[in-house]
Structure 1
Amino acid sequence: MPSAKMVRIVRDLGATDEDLDRLRTIGDTLESDPTLPFRKTRTGRFGFDPVAMEVRRLEFQPFMLSTEDDFVRHDAGQVRIFDEIRDDLQLNTALQALFVFKFMVFDGMKVEQRPKLDYDSDRWVCTLLNVRTITDGNLIGEPALEGVHSDGVDHTMTTYLGSENMTEESAVTFLHEMDEVNGTRWHDTNPELVRARAQHREFLDTCLIVDHELKHSVSTLYAVDPDRPATRDLLAFLTRRPVAEDHHSHEFDSPAPHPTMPMAVPLRTLDETAPTG
């Protein structure tokens, strides 16, 4: 979904111009990542409730992706503790509009089901990652160091916020058939298994992937001027049904609201009339 369409959509869903401008620079507030030195990250958990028709902030939980999720990396299966997303992002009307947009897209969609998720539940859990990838004189930034992977969810949405000093060939997203081998570097993949490619270049360029039907990989971040850092800022919305009891993340899947940073936003469906003005 290209930038111009996304900007128009999120404005119709309540985003203000002031908050759109603030969203462009939210990456300046990020902290270090627990396992990747070339990345700065904050995360937060949010719950979509189609009965109450709202998305709300959920309490903090550790984060884990494993090889069972089609994720092969040195920290696969490791419990990771991220710094939390704060009110400056979760109360931003543009971010809230992106949540509503995503729900409008996946609501009622039938997808290939993942094992060990509770598809009898009507709830959805979304982990939001606000990520800055950095390439400088000491580090080469990899938007997806894990190579070909899935995110262990039902629906992945990535929204581009901006970059500095990034070359035109950097950070290309490739979509792969499920037969591609997990962990394969983006440049070593089988071209016959590449379904599509896309590149986030403009503010709010957005890609939506059915995560258990296509895998993905992302190429390296390179600097135009090697004497200055290159950065790339992204929001990743990883949405799935709650996990079943035998899932490796079951102990980290609380539906309780966040005790100190509450947030709740009304949802809508595609058949509802968009606001005017």
Structure 2
Amino acid sequence: MGATDDDLKNLTTVSDGLKSDPTLPFRKTRTGRFGFDPRSMRVRRLEFQPFMLSMEDDFVRHDSGQVRIFDEIQNDLQLNTALQALFVFKFMVFEGVTVTHRPKLDYDSDQWICTLLNVRTITDGDLIGEPALEGVHSDGVDHTMTTYLGSENMTDDSAITFLHDMREVNGTRWHDTNADLVRANAQHRDFLDTCLIVDHESKHSVSTLYAADKSKCATRDLLAFLTRKPVAEGHHSHSFDSLKPHRELPMTVDLRLLDSTPST
């Protein structure tokens, strides 16, 4: 799909440049917005907008409903051909697939908006890292895809993803959930391990990040691709859901070609 060996290698260290998360002290994060356009068969970088998830999105946490401002993803990630290949892969999987509709999203639109989060979760002597502090949740989108970039000093029982029936109670800690409502579990362990969830058909949770050597820091690096239709009027994010291109950090990738055609 056009990924080069050098860019695959660079993807393993791109999280070293992350900035602090606005609401979680054990996490470092950058985000960027990207638009899938099936008419032109391209994905392009969209302009910066604030980010919000609410209880209405099945997201229960201390910062639910809070407008969050993240540092932006830079060219070291968005121009990486391996990252661009992941965009192509995700589009190939979800485009044309019928899913349960979320309220207040515009399913008459042929456009898709993807918020990409590059996240490093950290456990050290002072902080316990939680890949999903919110417990059982959904991401307020149509398709959630997570891709593992790597970890340091992580135990074998850390950061297990659990898939839950939609009847599970939002905000329930991963270890307090109803076993009868757990559909599956999986663990990202190897570079580029990827999971794709239909976000309004299954909820999910992730277990705690533990340090194998408690005298040293443990880290886990991940990409999360949160993709949905544009919001409709009345949605809490309606005022910041622009489809305009990013002027300072432009990027366009052709979705037609599965070869090494250069992107801009």
Query: What is the CA-CA distance between 1:135 and the residue it aligns to?
Result: 0.1
Distance 1:54 1:69 in 2: 28
Distance 1:21 1:117 in 2: 37
Distance 1:91 1:15 in 2: 11
Query: What is the CA-CA distance between 1:218 and the residue it aligns to?
Result: 0.1
Distance 2:83 2:144 in 1: 16
Distance 1:202 1:23 in 2: 13
Within the candidate set 140, 148, 160, 2:148 is matched to 160
Q: Residue 62 of structure 1 aligns to which amino acid in structure 2?
A: P
Pairing of 1:82-93 with structure 2 (within 5 A): 82-93=70-81
Counterpart for residue 10 of structure 2: 22
Counterpart for residue 69 of structure 1: 57
Counterpart for residue 232 of structure 1: 220
Counterpart for residue 222 of structure 1: 210
Counterpart for residue 137 of structure 1: 125
Query: What is the CA-CA distance between 1:252 and the residue it aligns to?
Result: 1.1
Counterpart for residue 83 of structure 2: 95
Q: Residue 230 of structure 1 aligns to which amino acid in structure 2?
A: A
Query: What is the CA-CA distance between 1:275 and the residue it aligns to?
Result: 4.5
DSSP-derived class of the 1:180 partner:
coil
Counterpart for residue 239 of structure 2: 251
Q: TM-score, normalised on structure 2? A: 0.97
Counterpart for residue 32 of structure 2: 44
Distance 1:34 1:80 in 2: 7
Within the candidate set 106, 109, 118, 1:121 is matched to 109
Counterpart for residue 175 of structure 1: 163
- Aligned residues: CA RMSD: 0.9
Counterpart for residue 211 of structure 1: 199
Distance 1:261 1:245 in 2: 28
Distance 1:133 1:27 in 2: 10
Distance 1:47 1:226 in 2: 42
Distance 1:33 1:152 in 2: 19
- Equivalent pairs: percent with the same residue? 80
Counterpart for residue 181 of structure 2: 193
DSSP-derived class of the 1:157 partner:
strand
DSSP-derived class of the 1:96 partner:
helix
Structure 1 runs of 4+ off > 3 angstroms?
Answer: none
Counterpart for residue 5 of structure 1: none
DSSP-derived class of the 1:187 partner:
helix
DSSP-derived class of the 1:88 partner:
helix
Distance 1:75 1:170 in 2: 24
> Deviation digits for residues 46-95 of structure 1, max 9, x if unmatched?
00000010000000000000000000000000000000000000000000
Distance 1:93 1:69 in 2: 32
Query: What is the CA-CA distance between 1:178 and the residue it aligns to?
Result: 0.1
Structure 2: give runs of 5+ residues left out of the alignment. Answer: none
Query: What is the CA-CA distance between 1:197 and the residue it aligns to?
Result: 0.2
> Deviation digits for residues 138-194 of structure 1, max 9, x if unmatched?
000000000000000000000000000000000000000000000000000000000
Q: TM-score, normalised on structure 1? A: 0.93
Distance 1:262 1:77 in 2: 29
Q: Residue 121 of structure 1 aligns to which amino acid in structure 2?
A: S
